[in-house]
Structure 1
Amino acid sequence: MCTGVIMISDLTEKVLRSNIIYRGRILNLRVDTVELPDGRTAKREIVEHTGAVIIVPVKQDGQLLLVRQYRSATGRTALELPAGNIEPGEELESAALRELQEETGYKAKELVRLCSFFSTPGFSDEELHLFFASGLTLLNQNLDDDEFVEVLTVPWENAIQMIWSGEICDAASVAGILAVDSYMKNRL
């Protein structure tokens, strides 16, 4: 045991005050004043988000569908899995099927929920729900008015290599592709 390390069994922070400083279309920003486990106070800046679904759509021939779009936050065009926000009251599976068709134009015959995880728990409550989609049928792409998305088909092994080369670099897509890679290997 290191000297000088204090072991605290309850790490819970008690919220003393909460103040929403921004309300937006897809997120809110609040500042909480919290009481720390040792009794001191601190500020926490929290991004509130309704959550999102991420879909890993794999065609019958093993090709992965990806979307390419410009991301203002990074100032770059990104190669990502189809994903999107969950509407208030919407079931997760319905959100996943809706986002898959909106962004790629495909409908899934089979949808498997694999896991859920927090995107960045240090400052956001956004929870992401990961789905594996197969049995794909092409219908019509139905993008939002402010969305410009290009759909790409990539061989599965190329997608894995694109993670390691940095071509696919958003956390949700990396986690999703690697999770489905493990899921598919364990199914065989």
Structure 2
Amino acid sequence: MADSEWQVYGQRQVYGSPWVELWLADVEVPGVGRLDHHVVRMPRASTTAVVTDDQGRFLLIYRHRFITGRWGWEVPAGWADPGEAPAAAIAREVEEETGWRPGQVELMTEYDAMAGISDAHFRSYHVTGCTRIGEPTDISEATRVEWVSEAAVIKLLVGGEVPDGPSHAALSYYLGPHRLSHTVH
């Protein structure tokens, strides 16, 4: 079977806001034919951070998500403001959501969260060297902010207590490929 791409004949916006856009694309799918396909576009860069300290702990937030009706642990995350670099955005988000100011911000990985229907592109960072500056300034983000041991993070992941996809992806990537890539020579 030869490689083939979907042919796009046009797109029109159905809904738009500063947070999300819904588009309808007129596409031809190889072997299927022509059809309308929904596309969810995210107009701002999405960022997440795995924040660790020199004791091997992870800084997590505990919050409720009304859309899914679930409570769970998450890593700090957010969107870049217009003109703001994603690394600067995640540093700002970590500080606002946790009350800890990042020292070093290192890109770990990038991925497309739902490539079949959305252009939501995430950049996941590893943040270290944080300094406590006070209480979180964005109190809507979490009911708790805690430093959690690696063993506890693994239990949270395995136990389904990190239901947020970007948080799950960032923590799993850090615990696996990121760390392995820093130990393999």
Q: TM-score, normalised by structure 2?
A: 0.89
> Residue in 2 aligned with 1:187?
182
Deviation at 1:142, TM superposition (A): 2.0
Partner amino acid, structure 2, of 1:156: E
Q: Is the partner of 1:97 in helix, strand or coil?
A: helix
Structure 1: runs of 5+ lacking an equivalent: 1-6
* Corresponding residue to 2:107 among 90, 113, 116: 113
> Residue in 2 aligned with 1:44?
37
Please list every run of at least 4 consecutive aligned residues from structure 1 whose deviation after the TM superposition is greater than 3 angstroms.
Answer: 184-188
Identity %, equivalent residues: 24
Structure 2: runs of 5+ lacking an equivalent: none
Per-residue CA deviations over 1:100-155 (Å, capped at 9, x if unaligned) read: 111111111111101100111111101000000111111132217xx241212211
Per-residue CA deviations over 1:55-92 (Å, capped at 9, x if unaligned) read: 00012222111111221210112211110012222111
The 1:53–1:148 alpha-carbon spacing in structure 2 relative to 1, beyond 3 Å, is closer
Contact 2:97 2:141 in 1 (8 A): no
> Residue in 2 aligned with 1:71?
65
> Residue in 2 aligned with 1:126?
120
The 1:9–1:68 alpha-carbon spacing in structure 2 relative to 1, beyond 3 Å, is same
- The answer to whether 1:24 aligns with 2:49 is no
In 1, Cα distance between the equivalents of 2:28 and 2:180?
Answer: 46
In 2, Cα distance between the equivalents of 1:185 and 1:123?
Answer: 31
Contact 1:53 1:96 in 2 (8 A): yes
In 1, Cα distance between the equivalents of 2:141 and 2:123?
Answer: 23
How many corresponding residue pairs? 179
Deviation at 1:186, TM superposition (A): 4.5
Partner amino acid, structure 2, of 1:95: A
Where in structure 2 are the equivalents of 1:5-16 lying within 5 Å? Answer: 7-10=1-4, 12-16=5-9
